[in-house]
Structures are given as C-alpha cells and as structure tokens.
Amino acid sequence: MSAARRALPVLVLLLPVMLAACQGGDKTAAFQWQPVFGDNSNDTTPVVARVAGVEITEQDIDLRFDELPPNVKSRYKGAEGRRLLLKDMCDQVLLVRGAVDAELYNQREVARTLISQRRITLDQAMRGVGLLQNAQPGEEELKAWFASNRDKYRQLGSVMAQHIECLNERDAQRAYQRLQTGEFKDKFPNVAADFSVNEVTRKKGGEIGWFNKGGFVPDIRNATQFTTVAYDLKDGLNPPVRIGDRWHVIEILRREGERPMTFNEARAQVLKDIMPSFQEGVIADWLKQARATYPAELMGEYAPGGGLTADQIFARAVALPNGQDKIDLFLLVVTDFPQSDRADDSLFLAAQVYLDLWADKRTAARCLTQMVTDYPQSELVDDAKYILDNMDNPAAMAPRSIEDLRH
C-alpha cells in the first residue's frame, strides 16, 4: 500500500497531527498524513481510483456505503450504484483537499467542530468499546437483583383458545348452534372451515394458541381488545361475542393462572433491567480511579466549594426539596472536600435519597460501599453495612437524618 493511501484530514482523531504539520508550513505533509476513507486497518483490497494523491479501494467503498443513512443507501445499491458512490467519493476528496489547501481548519467554527467531534468520538469510544463492550453483570449479581425485585417478575395468566370469526351475528349464531349439535360437536375445525372469514386461523382449524389478557395475537383484528374480552370468558365453548366490527365464537381450551417467574424464566428481563445501573456503575468506578490518578486542579471561582465550605454545601443539600439537586450537592461535598467530616455523611444521605425517591438500590449500594471503603473510621459505617445487608427490609430505611442514626 502506498503512502498516498492515507491522505486527508477527515478523521478528526488525528487532527493534532494535521495542525502540527500545517503550523510547520507543509500543507502537503498534512494532506498526506490523514485518511479520507477507511477504518485505519491494513487494507489489502484492490485500488479502484486515484484522485489528488489519494487512493480509494474496494474496502473504502464498502465502508463509505455502511456510513450512509438507510434512506440514502438505495441510491447506491448494485454495480451502477457503486460506480456512482465512487464518483461521489472522488468529489469529496477534492472538496477536502480544497479545504486543506485553503487552510479552513484554522477558521474558528471549523476548528471547533473538528475538536468537538474528536472529543465526542473518543468519549463515546471509551464508554462503549473501552468500558462497556464486554462488561456484563455476573450470575450472582443477576440472582441478587432478581431476589430483590421478585414481585416485578411474574408470569401473566394465559389461555389457549380457538375461534370462528364472522361478519355478522347471524352467521356467528349459526356456527355456535352447529357446534352444539351431535353431528358437529367437538368438530371445531369443520365448522370454522364453513363459517370463519379469517383465512389465516381458518386454515389452522380456528386455532389461536396461547395469549394473555390484553396481549397481542397475530392475524386477529383488534387483537388487544380480542384478548382482553376472550381472557375473561368461561372455559369451554362461549356464545357469540362482538369484538370491534366482527363477531366471534370462542372456545377456551386451557387456562394457566398468574404465577411468580423462576429466575431462568426471568433472566433475560433481569439482565435488561439491571444493565442501565450496572453500566453507570462501571463508568463511575472507572472515573473514580481516573480522578485519583489525574486529580483536577480547580482555580478561581471554580475552586473546591466555589467559595462555600463543606458544611455550608451540606446544609444547603439537606434543605433542598428536589432529590436530584440534593444528590448533586452531596456528591459535590465528596468530590471537593473528600477529607471533610461531611463527606461520609453526604454519601450516606445520597444513598438514602436514591432509595427513598427512586428505589434505586444499586446506586444507593454504590454510595454506601464507597462510604465504607473510603471512610472506614466513620461512625456511620455500621449503619451503612446494616442497610447494605438489609436493602430489602423497609425498616432499614426508617432513619430520616444523620441525627436519627447517631442517637
């Protein structure tokens, strides 16, 4: 692959290289250092075009096509579409080359956009690929979440049914009467074949399958209304009932009542429910370590506390009515005054806000765990450990202030 293969400053991740070269007065060097297309991998696919010193490969076309919005891709499908896309890519190289030659990257708005896109891209990359891509809660953590939220995971009651769908009450009554005669009794598919206007379920002998109340079943008009009405019918054959603009003869074949789900049944939903707070925890834990490695130095009016003491910020947090505002100030005490005697109090009360207002046990546990770890001499350690051990016991949440716990 030639050096010209990587040529223009479109990848904002390499903006500092470009600016350094340009400040040295060598625009051609800056032009050649930056890729226009591709993903910076070892591309060995054939070169299909050269323009303004840039080589474009088959892989470049594939990657550029992947970048397109779904509503635009149809324009570039097929052999003719790929040729059109390649021509557009050549034009884009010329436009980028023109921007470099004109040193447009020095204009404030352009530079601001390049810098912000670089920042956003790296921030998202760290959160995604760097921290969250392979981060998964362990099985024990999932089971603990399930145990703490058992009431949420229930298998809804369901029924199995079959039906005959008619356009009017007269036909529905005729079907119902035939099902009750000796000749056609227990021969639901035969009657469905003669009377049902629902072509899909008629071919299945009227069979619908299992559904819960208010659930969706395919191929049924007004499906939610249908399942709501049908679920409440008695077991066995029922008289015709109007649902929407149709009449139905419905037979309830089997019924299963609502019951608690097992962990295995609920596992997928548990994983979905736990992931937001789990991912927040992964990022929060990493940031805590990063802050210790690279502590921020805040100066002037932005110095720790903004001119207020830890006690003043703490008192303001306690007095605020809004929960999120309280948490923001409690955590400000922790980050700005980690050595103060209000830091442990702030973590403890932040945990209580998470529990009292949002029942966010995971985030509350993270605050309490940090308090126990960072402030092992705190007189609140025993209370924090007690709450961590009894997170599901309402009595553990009874204290409403630090003073309640200290007395």
Boundaries of every domain in the chain: 3-132, 154-260, 296-406
Task: Convert the pLDDT of each residue in 243-253 to its tens digit.
Answer: 999 999 999 99
- Return the SS3 of 116: helix
Q: Stretch 344-366: mean pLDDT, rounded?
A: 92
* pLDDT exceeds cutoff 80 at 403: no
Contact 399, 405 (CB under 8 A): yes
Task: Convert the pLDDT of each residue in 16-54 to its tens digit.
Answer: 444 444 444 454 444 444 789 999 899 999 999 999 989
* pLDDT exceeds cutoff 50 at 14: no
pLDDT at 362: 86
* pLDDT exceeds cutoff 70 at 400: no
pLDDT more than 70, % of the chain = 87
pLDDT at 9: 39
Query: For residue 301, what pLDDT band results from cuts at 50, 70 and 90?
Result: confident
* pLDDT exceeds cutoff 90 at 389: no
pLDDT at 393: 66
Q: Stretch 348-364: mean pLDDT, rounded?
A: 91
Q: Stretch 383-397: mean pLDDT, rounded?
A: 77
Query: For residue 6, what pLDDT band results from cuts at 50, 70 and 90?
Result: very low
Task: Convert the pLDDT of each residue in 135-181 to its tens digit.
Answer: 999 999 999 899 988 889 999 999 999 999 999 999 999 999 999 88
pLDDT at 183: 66
pTM of this structure: 0.68
Q: So what's the architecture of 154-260 in CATH?
A: Roll (3.10)
pLDDT at 334: 94
pLDDT at 85: 97
Closest CA to 45 of 34, 60, 64: 60
Instruction: Give dist(CA 203, CA 199) in Å, integer.
Output: 6
Other Cβ atoms closer than 10 A to 376: 9
pLDDT at 17: 42
DSSP tag of 24: T
DSSP tag of 126: I
Contacts 24+ apart (CB under 8 A), 23-32: 27/100, 27/101, 27/103, 30/100, 31/7, 31/97, 31/100, 32/3, 32/4, 32/6, 32/7
pLDDT at 184: 58
pLDDT at 20: 41
pLDDT at 42: 92
Instruction: Give dist(CA 202, CA 7) in Å, integer.
Output: 64
pLDDT at 29: 46
Task: Convert the pLDDT of each residue in 193-224 to its tens digit.
Answer: 999 999 999 999 999 999 999 999 999 999 99
Looking at CATH, the fold of the domain delimited by 296-406 is given as 1.25.40
